[in-house]
């Protein structure tokens, strides 16, 4: 158990807490991250500090974002002598990660976390919004979520999460983690994943918000053909212009095709010499 775990804090189901305690797995995570003295590392949900204590002496600055206020005093006590350790009390789903950059006068950060599985999808969507300021992200997630993140077109796990995260990031599954590595043990297998924001998106689109809307619409009825799944916003002519056969299923359509479809459903851009009134 880490120094921060000495208080005997009980994991709270409402926070989705499963505390990592296997030293071998912790070592593998730190090896995968490769912390460096110049890094600003941001840890989401440090819990009892199992990963925190392996990072704090290896990086330039370590900021942690913790929702459970009962854990924060133990974290402050455990790392009181570390001048590079900073605690932010807040909800990771709503937190402004640029605040840490401003406070510490940095322009880039690395993010790591054993993410609560019950909020992992919305949290990933929140985090990718900060991709211009993120060097990379290393997360412990439910195995099925990692499969969805990495899924390619035609895979059963292919869907909105994978498409939108892959638009922003390169996805690299790392290794599996068994339930017994945690206390309490979750009822699912876990996996580590590395996300690296693209310097340039793999496809171009005029409006990523519209891309998200179209992908969300398509996969809200993924058992239907794309013709029927998106018919409230897209007619068959536009599908054909995007190079999409109307009888395909949503999981058979590539990111590039979704991006093209999103652009075709936007209003036509005004000519360069014409200003909007």
pLDDT in tens, 241-261: 999 999 999 999 999 999 999
What is the share, in percent, of the chain residues with pLDDT greater than 70? 90
Asked if the model's pLDDT at residue 4 lies above 90, the reply is: no
Write down the pLDDT at residue 223: 87
Write down the pLDDT at residue 1: 29
Asked if the model's pLDDT at residue 185 lies above 50, the reply is: yes
How many domains in the chain? 2
Give the count of alpha carbons within 13 A of 83, CB side only: 0
Same domain for 166 and 56, yes or no, is yes
Task: List CB contacts of 223: < 8 A, sequence separation 6 or more.
Answer: 249
Residue with tokens 């590039």: 256
Write down the pLDDT at residue 101: 98
What sign has the CA pseudo-torsion 183, 84, 35, 15?
positive
Same domain for 172 and 242, yes or no, is no
Same domain for 60 and 103, yes or no, is yes
Same domain for 193 and 68, yes or no, is yes
Write the CA distances from 235 to 51, 228, 245, integer angstroms: 51, 9, 12
- Among 150, 177, 197, where does a domain finish? 197
The CATH number linked to 213 is 1.10.8.100
**Residue 160: which of 94, 229, 114, 110 has the closest Cα?**
229
Write down the pLDDT at residue 277: 39
Residue 203 domain flag: no
Residue 276 domain flag: no
Asked if the model's pLDDT at residue 193 lies above 90, the reply is: yes
- Rounded to whole angstroms, the Cα distance separating 73 from 226 reads 52
Residue 145 domain flag: yes
Residue 269 domain flag: no
Residue 70 domain flag: yes
Asked if the model's pLDDT at residue 12 lies above 50, the reply is: no
Residue 142 domain flag: yes
The CATH number linked to 72 is 3.40.50.150
Task: List CB contacts of 174: < 8 A, sequence separation 6 or more.
Answer: 32, 138, 191, 192, 193, 194
Same domain for 151 and 220, yes or no, is no
Same domain for 123 and 218, yes or no, is no
Write down the pLDDT at residue 149: 98
Task: For residue range 96-115, list pLDDT tens digits in order.
Answer: 999 999 999 999 999 999 88
Write down the pLDDT at residue 268: 56
Same domain for 100 and 158, yes or no, is yes
Give the structural domain span for 236: 208-264
Task: For residue range 196-228, list pLDDT tens digits in order.
Answer: 999 999 999 999 999 999 999 999 988 899 999
* Mean pLDDT confidence for 166-180: 95
What sign has the CA pseudo-torsion 213, 148, 44, 48?
positive
Asked if the model's pLDDT at residue 60 lies above 50, the reply is: yes
Same domain for 12 and 138, yes or no, is yes
Write down the pLDDT at residue 187: 81
* Mean pLDDT confidence for 33-56: 94
Same domain for 158 and 217, yes or no, is no
- Among 140, 164, 197, where does a domain finish? 197
Same domain for 236 and 156, yes or no, is no
Write down the pLDDT at residue 273: 47
Write down the pLDDT at residue 269: 56
Residue 73 domain flag: yes
Write down the pLDDT at residue 2: 36
Same domain for 119 and 216, yes or no, is no
Same domain for 182 and 162, yes or no, is yes
Whether 53 and 77 have beta carbons less than 8 Å apart is answered as no
Residues in the chain: 277
How far the first Cα of the chain sits from its last, in Å, is 63
Peptide bond into 222 cis (omega under 30): no
Residue 94 domain flag: yes
Asked if the model's pLDDT at residue 159 lies above 70, the reply is: yes
Write down the pLDDT at residue 264: 95
* Average of per-residue pLDDT values in the chain: 89
Q: 88: which strand partners?
A: 65
**Residue 35: which of 146, 94, 89, 112 has the closest Cα?**
112
């Amino acid at each position: 158990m880490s120094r921060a775990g000495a208080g005997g804090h009980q994991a709270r189901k409402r926070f989705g807490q499963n505390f990592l305690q296997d030293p071998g797995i912790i070592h593998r995570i730190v090896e995968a991250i490769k912390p460096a003295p110049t890094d600003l590392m941001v840890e989401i949900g440090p819990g009892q500090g199992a990963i925190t204590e392996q990072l704090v002496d290896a990086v330039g600055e370590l900021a942690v974002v913790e929702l459970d206020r009962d854990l924060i005093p133990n974290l402050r006590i455990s790392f009181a002598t570390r001048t590079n350790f900073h605690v932010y009390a807040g909800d990771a789903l709503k937190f402004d990660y640029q605040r840490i950059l401003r406070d510490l006068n940095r322009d880039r950060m690395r993010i790591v976390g054993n993410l609560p599985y019950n909020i992992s999808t919305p949290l990933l969507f929140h985090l990718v919004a900060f991709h211009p300021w993120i060097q990379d992200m290393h997360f412990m997630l439910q195995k099925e979520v990692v499969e969805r993140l990495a899924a390619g077109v035609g895979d059963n796990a292919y869907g909105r999460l994978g498409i939108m995260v892959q638009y922003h990031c390169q996805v690299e599954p790392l290794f599996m983690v068994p339930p017994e590595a945690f206390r309490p043990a979750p009822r699912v297998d876990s996996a580590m994943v590395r996300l690296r924001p693209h310097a340039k998106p793999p496809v171009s689109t005029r409006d990523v918000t519209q891309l998200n809307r179209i992908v969300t619409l398509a996969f809200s009825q993924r058992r239907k053909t794309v013709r029927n799944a998106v018919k409230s916003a897209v007619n068959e002519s536009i599908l054909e212009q995007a190079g999409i056969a109307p009888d395909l299923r949503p999981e058979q359509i590539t990111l590039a095709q979704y991006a093209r479809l999103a652009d075709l459903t936007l209003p036509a851009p005004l000519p360069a010499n014409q200003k909007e009134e």
